[in-house]
Amino acid sequence: MSDPIKDLENFSSEGLPMNPLAPSEVRRRGDRIRRRNQGVLALGAAAAVAVVATSGVLVAGAVNQGEGPDPAVDPTQTTDRTTSGFLTTIPDDFALDVGMGGAQVTEDGQMDDLDYCGTTPLSDLPTLDVRSAEVSGGETSVTRTLYLLENQDEARAAHVAVLDAARDCAAEKTPDGTVALQPADDSWPGNTITLDLGRGAETEPTVQVVNVVTNGPAVLVTSIWGVWSGDVQPGVETSRDGLGQLVPELDLFGDNVGPLEPSEVDPDQGSGSSDDVPTTIPDDYPLGTGWPDDSVAETEELGLQGPNRTLESLPFNACGETWQEPEYADRLRAEWTNAEDYRARQLTTYADADAAVAAVADLIAMMQACPEDPVRDDGYVTERTVRKIPFGGEGWAILERDTLDGGDSPLGGSTMVIRNGLSVLVIRHDGHSGYPGTDNGQGQVDRQTSEASQAIAAMCRFTVAGCGSGSDGGTESSSDDVLGPDGWGELKIGMTAAELEATGLVTIAPADDPTAACRAVTIKGWEDTVHPNISGQVHAFVSKKHGLAMIFAQPGMKTPEGIGVGSTVADVRAAYGELGGQDAYNTAPVDGKSWFFLTDGGSVTAFQLEHADQDCMD
């Protein structure tokens, strides 16, 4: 069998040192790859192996750009346009195959059969024109397809349809392949989807990277199939780099719409009726939990105020404009202040989930439209970053840094906007306590959501699914499903065996072996542990040296950042940044402790909270 890496390294303007593969051969090779990996995606026809590819080929982290025609297109050429000014045909000299030496260019949709768990989102597009470019070698094939639709709305709908199909397939968590929507990136004008089929019995890991970019009524979908080892993230970056020459030329068809989101599906809504979801916030809602005690405040006037309905609503301002929020059903406010330390929370309910979704979308759009405020009278400029965070039905971080004469300052603000069902929780820190830092604001995201973990968990009461048995969404029991950041309830990492037993919540195994470093801990009321290395009523370990050394998450538990069994590795990375460990073991440090996530290569299968120096398990 030929080495696909070597084959692809031979790309040139003349193509491979062989005749380009016919579409039937591309399909045959694609079928062979899928059979070997027992893949779940029935990607028939030529798109089975390459659904619209990048201009370079990613295999084992290597990209071969090849040579090709100049991508420049003369915008003055005579071409039919709609009444809106959009092109109705793809210009003959539009170089779709730039960088794809020896590519076959055809006037059809090679990726029509793109299939995510039985859904083919692009099989029946009402196109005005379509063009594909394809090249293959060895076990690898790359393809690009450009679809030209009647208007931008149809193009956006096609783009979102691909995202919806991938999202729904990822949710099925089939054992034969891992589909993941990669986090949107401000530096990339489209969306990226990865499929990891893993290692077959006779093959290297098989990976597909799909990119979708929309300009005006034109949708470019690119894909690469091949054997590739390692983390998919470098492949995502490399596939995007490979489109560097082509993507700017899409401006010929209209403005870029940027990365899009899948259509709204609230994962926390159940099959009940939205009429049963309460809109009134209970007076005992844990809105102020997690903040410092009032004794920490420097004066009696500072400290906690609320929760109540009399504090003024939190304002949102950007580029001189104030957000005009829509009508809401109920609102509860709380704040905690100290010198240069301003913390506020605001919980709002709307008439229904659609109204909450619309409110968040309007707010985030205003913030994203203003990455930098005008210079203030004091000379400061507020620079603003808006990014998604993995909480609730949807979550956003609005990170603001104040600069002076182009230089950094210690001032800024960090705001989390989390929607669950028909409720929206705003968590805001300003002053020195709100500065986002230099880690893309991840430290602030962790701190603020950790402090507000009970308030976040209790938002379940405002969804159709509710909070499940044993919790009404307004008491401490709502925090039972949150592990971390320092333990579970009264049980804290580092507590000695005596301190643990004093809580009355645990039973500790007797020290039958006096030389053993650790003893097993059973937490009363917990179910059997679901973990590949631990079973039964072993829920934690206590160490002679480090105290409570680790706690294994119960089924349904999540971290304060919303990570739990089923979260993708991309979700974990988005929540905690760069991860330690390797292969199926990923670690993330947090305040002298560490999260330990076991994965199947694509999503979390079990996790635990550990002492940073635990000595109970290798």
Q: What is the pLDDT of residues 347-383, one digit of tens each?
A: 999 988 888 888 998 999 898 988 988 988 888 888 8
Measured between alpha carbons, how far is 367 from 555 in angstroms, rounded to an integer? 37
**Identity of the highest mean pLDDT range in 480-484, 549-553, 586-590, 595-599:** 549-553
Predicted pLDDT at 106? 94
**With bands split at pLDDT 50, 70 and 90, how would you rate the model's confidence at 473?**
very low
Asked which of 101-105, 199-203, 243-247, 452-456 is least confident by mean pLDDT, the reply is 199-203
Mean pLDDT of 432-460: 78
Q: Enter the tokens of residue 339.
A: 């010198």
* Residue 595 domain-assigned (yes or no): yes
* pLDDT, greater one: 333 or 526: 333
- Our count of domains for the chain comes to 3
Q: Which of 398, 19, 315 is nearest to 7 (CA)?
A: 19
Q: Of residues 582 and 21, which shows the higher confidence score?
A: 582
For residue 464, count other CB atoms closer than 10 A to its CB.
18
Query: Would you state the structure tokens that stand for residue 249, as one six-digit string?
Result: 């030329």
My answer on whether 295 and 240 are in the same domain is no
Closest to 58 (Cα-Cα) out of 228, 231, 245, 230: 228
Report residue 63 CA to chain centroid gap: 26
The residue type at 603: S
CB 313 within 8 A of CB 333: yes
- The pLDDT-based confidence of 74 (bands split at 50, 70, 90) is very low
Segment among 68-72, 280-284, 501-505, 557-561 with least mean pLDDT:
68-72
Top mean pLDDT of 56-70, 118-132, 516-530 is at: 118-132
Instruction: List all residues 6 or more positions away from 530 whose beta carbon is below 8 Å from its beta carbon.
Output: 555, 606
Q: Is residue 338 part of a domain?
A: yes
Instruction: Tell me how far apart the alpha carbons of residues 454 and 484 are, in angstroms, rounded to a whole number.
Output: 11
pLDDT of 438 strictly over 60: yes
Alpha-carbon span 45 to 486, nearest angstrom? 52
**pLDDT tens for residues 517-555?**
999 999 987 887 877 777 678 899 999 999 999 999 988
CATH number of the domain at 131, please.
3.40.1000
- Best-predicted range by mean pLDDT (14-18, 206-210, 305-309, 442-446): 305-309
Alpha helices in 460-539 (DSSP H): 497-502
The set of residues, in sequence order, having a beta carbon less than 8 Å from that of 232 and lying 6+ positions away, is 180, 194, 196, 207, 209
The alpha carbon dihedral of 182, 184, 187, 192 has a sign of: positive
**Are 396 and 496 part of one and the same domain?**
no
Q: State the sign of the Cα–Cα–Cα–Cα dihedral 186, 187, 189, 192.
A: negative
- pLDDT for residue 273: 45
Domain assignment present for 426: yes
**Do 84 and 201 fall within a single domain?**
yes
Is there a single domain that holds both residue 141 and residue 214? yes
- Estimate to the nearest angstrom the gap between the alpha carbon of 357 and the chain centroid: 18
* pLDDT for res 554: 87
pLDDT tens profile 219-233: 999 998 776 555 677
Given a cut of 80, whether residue 606 has pLDDT beyond it is yes
Q: Of 45-59, 147-161, 460-474, which has the strongest mean pLDDT?
A: 147-161
> What predicted TM-score, i.e. pTM, was given to this entire model?
0.41
- Residue 451 CB coordination number (10 Å): 21
404 versus 269: the higher-pLDDT residue is 404
Of 282-291, 325-334, 412-421, 428-437, the range with the highest mean pLDDT is 325-334
Confidence bin at 328 (pLDDT 50/70/90): very high
Residue 616 lies in a domain: no
Closest by alpha carbon to 400, among 425, 439, 368, 434? Answer: 434
The residue segments making up the domain with residue 581 are 481-611
Q: What is the average pLDDT value for the chain, to the nearest integer? A: 76
Q: How far apart (Å, rounded) are the C-alpha atoms in residues 563 and 390?
A: 7
Question: Are 322 and 199 members of one domain?
Answer: no
Q: Based on the domain organization, do 151 and 102 belong to the same domain?
A: yes
Residue found by looking up tokens 């859904």 in the block: 119
Looking at the structure, tell me whether residues 91 and 192 fall in a common domain: yes
To which H or E segment does residue 195 belong? strand 191-198
Q: Is the pLDDT of residue 78 over 70?
A: no
Residues 290 and 173 in one domain: no
Instruction: Give the separation between CA 346 and CA 428, rounded to whole angstroms.
Output: 9
Residues forming a β-bridge with 209:
194, 224
Residues 418, 564, single domain; the answer is no
Any domain includes 418: yes
Specify the pLDDT at position 272: 43
Q: Which of 553, 527, 556, 548 is CA-nearest to residue 592?
A: 548
pLDDT attached to residue 250: 94
Integer Cα distance of 457 and 392 in angstroms? 9
Q: What is the CATH number of the domain that holds 576?
A: 2.60.460
Same domain, 448 and 334: yes
Of 236-250, 294-308, 432-446, minimum mean pLDDT range: 432-446
Tell me, yes or no, whether 259 lies in a domain: no
Predicted local confidence at residue 149, as pLDDT: 92
Ranking 63-72, 167-176, 250-259 by mean pLDDT, the lowest is 63-72
Domain contains 596: yes
What is the spatial distance between Cα 523 and Cα 525, in angstroms, rounded to a whole number?
Answer: 6
In this structure, are 104 and 158 located in the same domain? yes
Residue 527, in any domain of the structure = yes
Angstrom distance (rounded) from CA 542 to CA 536: 17
What is the pLDDT at residue 618? Answer: 77
CA triple 109-110-115, angle to 5 deg: 105
Do both 439 and 542 map to the same domain? Answer: no
